[in-house]
Amino acid sequence: MNVSAIDVASDPFILNERLSVELHRHSELLSRVDRAGIKGQKPRVIWLTGLSASGKSTIANALELRLHGMGRHTMLLDGDNVRLGLNKDLGFAAVDRVENIRRIGEVAKLMADAGLIVIAAFISPYQAERTMVRELMSKGDFVEVFVSTPLELCEARDPKGLYKKARRGEILNFTGINAPYEEPESPEIILDTSYKTVEDAVEIIIDFMCQHGVA
Ligand code: ADX
């Protein structure tokens, strides 16, 4: 007999199993610090938040290249890419965005536990979801970078034409136009790309990491 994904998803026994409370976290002999230590680095999650077209992905890519050149083992997680794979079942309603960030937070944590320096670039528009991710990480692992480029400049850049579509009402829930962006309350770093070049932005993040013994 063939069992389809829908059968499995709606089977009450399997659903019940999925919600099982009989789960216990196993202790591990090696810690994230041990795993990172073999690479001579400290695990971190550098989390870039900001509007679409604010410069998050460009800075994240340049930062990864720079850290790679310094011999650091990194991994880049980016909004559009993750939404084409792991999170392709999610849209842009608030509930989906929170689930998007929850899953990415869990993935970033696994990667940090593997000893990597994770660079994450997501709009992540809600303070509560960013706090949720921060609290998931070991203390001090999470570096929140607010890419604070103003809406007017993001909209003028509009590299994918999405702002224009949102203004025409062709995209619902578009951040900054018809969905909110809550500015971070206390980010470790603020970068406005109307004043800073990508190179400056990368240097500011690297300086912060060096000062905090990260890079
Ligand atoms: S988040 O809000 O859930 O954190 P995420 O960073 O994963 O968003 O994805 C943002 C990308 O999705 C944008 O760069 C843009 O290309 C695309 N996108 C498509 N629809 C929307 C929308 N309604 N609001 C914002 N971004 C959108």
With cut-offs at 50, 70 and 90, classify the pLDDT of residue 215: low
Which residues does residue 142 pair with via DSSP β-bridges, in sequence order? 45
Separation of CA 52 and ligand 1 centre (Å): 7
Compute the distance from residue 96 Cα to the ligand 1 centre, in Å: 11
Question: What would the pLDDT profile of 123-179 be if each residue is shown by its tens digit?
Answer: 999 999 999 999 999 888 999 999 999 999 999 999 999 999 999 999 999 999 999
Residues with CB under 6 A from ligand 1: 52, 79-80, 83, 92, 97, 100-101, 122-125, 160, 162, 171, 173-175
Over the stretch 24-78, which tens digit does the pLDDT of each residue have? Answer: 888 889 988 889 889 999 999 999 999 999 999 999 999 999 999 999 999 999 9
pLDDT over 70 (residue 17)? no
Atom 17 (ligand 1): residue with closest C-alpha? 80
Atom number in ligand 1 closest to CA 122? 6
What DSSP string runs through 87-151?
A: TTT--SSHHHHHHHHHHHHHHHHHHHHTT-EEEEE-----HHHHHHHHHHSPTT-EEEEEE---H
> Active-site residues: which are they?
124
